[in-house]
């Protein structure tokens, strides 16, 4: 699959219902978007395009979320496997509301059924 462009990533975020506040290409295979969801919360979207996602990728996202005080973060992966170390690291940072996804999840939150409590930290692992 061809490498994503910043314009394609921004379009995917808008299609999912986010307002793109800022975007930057960090490396040839890495981008950072700041998006606002339907509740007005800022989220970091770290896009990584390579074959293996490691714990350092999760730590990088967690650091951006913590330092900039965002509501949460999405590690968006393209054609990648998530290492067991990355999965463990994601669980360690669960309080920061981090997700690993193969596509950007919808900006609108789905409300849980009556009597079911929503977890404070959503973690989606795609491998």
* pLDDT tens digit sequence for 3-23: 678 899 999 999 999 999 999
37 pLDDT higher than 50: yes
Handedness of CA 25, 103, 111, 93 (dihedral sign): negative
69 pLDDT higher than 90: yes
Instruction: Return all residues near 67 (Cβ < 8 A) that are at least 6 apart.
Output: none
Instruction: Return all residues near 22 (Cβ < 8 A) that are at least 6 apart.
Output: 33, 34
Q: Provide the residue ranges of all domains of the chain, joining segments of one domain with +.
A: 6-101
pLDDT at 109 (0 to 100):
53
Average pLDDT over residues 69-77: 94
pLDDT at 93 (0 to 100):
85
102 pLDDT higher than 50: yes
Average pLDDT over residues 98-127: 58
Class of domain 6-101: alpha beta
């Amino acid at each position: 699959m061809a490498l994503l462009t910043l314009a394609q990533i921004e379009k995917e975020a808008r299609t999912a219902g986010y307002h793109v506040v800022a975007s930057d290409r960090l490396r040839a295979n890495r981008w950072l978007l700041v998006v606002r969801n339907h509740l007005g919360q800022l989220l970091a979207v770290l896009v990584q395009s390579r074959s293996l996602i490691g714990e350092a990728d999760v730590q990088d996202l967690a650091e951006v979320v913590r330092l900039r005080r965002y509501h949460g973060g999405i590690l968006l992966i393209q054609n990648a496997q998530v290492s067991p170390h990355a999965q463990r690291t994601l669980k360690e940072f669960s309080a920061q509301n981090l997700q690993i996804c193969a596509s950007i999840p919808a900006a609108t939150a789905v409300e849980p059924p009556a009597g079911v409590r929503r977890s404070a930290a959503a973690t989606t692992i795609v491998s």
